[in-house]
Chains A and B, each alone.
Chain A
């Protein structure tokens, strides 16, 4: 079988820029290089027009108004701006934030920073499916709660939270609802009104746009959300985020958003078909291959599977020429496996044994079959040299053994 390697199956990490997006961006590097803040000449007007168009393209995908989009350098900045911006602006009203333990580090570390600066944070857990418990959320609200930050879709597992229900609970208590929608934006339908979302973090490079640009949606009506800027300067982006706008990147972001909207139905059908083909083959052909996270609330392209009794990093090492990611963080000094999988209650063997495959716009069925074959071969090979697999085959309960932790 002739197949070109390396094979990219890590679209949740980043995507190639769509050729159609590149074509939109190019003139803004050279011919139309103006500063969108230059009001006195045509160079500035052309750039401003491009930014306005992109703002409207990015907004319309989530049923928002273009005035509600603040461009940032990416979603990490958007998460920082949303959470710190609200905490600072509403400091006189309250200091309590509710978030979740499986959030991206950009949210977790921002909340931890605020904990050191006078805020109180409630960290919601998740169940085995990866979802937060809405009753637990309801009980977590206090009079001084100012913000709930719950991600739309998890980057490791692809599990999608029940945004509409979370939004309704926040809305009823007049508490702002922020969602980190980096993985979900452009992949599944999102509606800021129907879901009562007040702030949303978005990134361009997860939807085949360029790296280095993202946005924060900030609701302007019912309620009008105000945030304290975190970067000060020339007052760009309605004062929310100063700094000369990255016009070529923003133009590309807009084009990528428009294409994502147009192609969403077709992309989803094709990508979900490939994902299911992969899942069915892996779980049928490899014993004790366990899918992590519920597939009932899920992104189409993400598949997180644990291959019990095989350590993830050694499995990755065998998958030469295949770009996937592992939930095992053996390379870090801590030797801690994925905190997301641990929060879902996975035992250590399974948490150390997970792979994340993310399928995207350019993945082919041949690539999926090739990757499945290589995974199966390597899991079989590594299990043949796994003492845990041997013990389990002998009927030994691993939990009954006193391990020498090191």
Chain B
């Protein structure tokens, strides 16, 4: 299968690979997917005030899954939490030119950022935004 140049770029040079301390009060962690489905994403954000100041990811999955999570960490850095909540999988899929069989990778990345925000808000008792339930 042919990958888009952007997918290949993120796969070969993934941005923000790594981990933040999940017990840190300022960190939100989202883990979505399942080994059975062939992809698991862990996405973490550090929040200061209402701004995401850092983001890290680790992904087990195909190149498109790695690229989707790498792209999302790039996007959310410096973003307001409320804006990050608005990221849609279709934007990710469009940016990476994902083919139809890989759309689920972008869905997973959207779920991952929402899950990370939800985790952060849970720590701070401000869980007005609930993460979308994975289909």
Interface residue from B1, B31, B34, B63 paired with A314 (Cβ < 8 Å): B63
Indicate the size class of the contact surface on chain B: 35 or more
Q: A390-B19, A390-B58 are in contact. Are A332 and B38 (CB under 8 A)?
A: no
B17 smallest CB distance to A (angstroms):
5
**Residues B68-117 near A (CB distance < 8 A):** 101, 104, 107-108, 111
Known: A385-B14, A388-B60, A406-B107. A348 touches B101 (CB 8 A): no
> Quick check: B61 and A311 within 8 Å, CB to CB?
yes
Contact present for B36 and A314 (CB under 8 Å): no
Report yes or no: B63 in contact with A385, Cβ–Cβ below 8 A: no
Among listed A154-162, A211-219, A397-405, interface-contacting one: A397-405
Closest to A403 in B: B34
Docked pose: A333 CA to B101 CA in angstroms: 6
- B68 CB to closest chain A CB, in angstroms? 12
CB distance A387 to B38 under 8 Å? no
Residue numbers in B under 8 Å from A331 (CB-CB): 1, 62, 101
Name the B residues within 8 Å of A318 (CB-CB): 11
Q: List chain B residues, Cβ under 8 A from A398.
A: 35
**Given A313-B62, A387-B40, residue A352 in contact with residue B14 (CB < 8 A):** no
Asked if A335 is an interface residue, CB under 8 A from chain B, the answer is: yes
Interface membership of A95, Cβ < 8 A: no
Given known A-B contacts A403-B35, A406-B104, A317 and B42 have beta carbons under 8 A apart = no
Question: Among the interface residues B31, B36, B65, which one has the most CB atoms of the partner chain A within 10 A?
Answer: B36
A406-B62 contact in complex given A314-B11, A317-B3, A384-B17, C-beta closer than 8 Å: no
A387 to B44, CA, bound (A): 12
- How far is the CB of A267 from the nearest CB of chain B, in Å? 33
- Docked pose: A158 CA to B73 CA in angstroms: 42
Interface of B (DSSP majority class): mixed
Interface residues of A in 314-351 (CB under 8 A from B): 314, 317-318, 328, 330-333, 335, 337, 347-349
Q: Cα distance A163–B31 when bound, in Å?
A: 47
Instruction: Report which residue of A318, A328, A330, A352 has the largest number of chain B beta carbons within 10 angstroms of its beta carbon.
Output: A330
Q: Is A9 an interface residue (CB 8 A)?
A: no
In the bound complex, CA of A389 to CA of B17 (Å):
14
Q: Does A310 contact B (CB under 8 A)?
A: yes
Q: Is B45 engaged at the interface, CB distance under 8 Å to the other chain? A: no
A38 within 8 A of B: no
A403 near B33: Cβ-Cβ < 8 Å: yes
Asked whether any CB of chain A lies closer than 8 Å to the CB of B59, the reply is yes
Complex CA gap A337/B39 in Å reads 12
Flag if B60 contacts A406 (CB, 8 Å): no
In the assembled complex, the Cα of A317 lies from the Cα of B7 at a distance in Å of 11
The 4 closest A-B pairs by CB, nearest first: A403-B34, A387-B42, A348-B36, A387-B58
Q: Which B residues are closer than 8 A to A by beta carbons?
A: 1, 3, 8, 11, 14, 17, 19, 31-42, 57-63, 65-66, 101, 104, 107-108, 111, 134-135
Given contacts A331-B101, A385-B14, A404-B111, 6 further A-B contacts (CB under 8 A): A317-B63, A318-B11, A333-B101, A386-B58, A387-B40, A387-B41
* Interchain residue pairs with CB less than 8 A apart (22): A309-B60, A311-B39, A311-B65, A313-B38, A313-B62, A313-B63, A314-B11, A317-B8, A317-B62, A317-B63, A328-B38, A330-B39, A333-B101, A335-B37, A352-B35, A386-B58, A387-B40, A404-B33, A405-B36, A405-B134, A406-B34, A406-B108
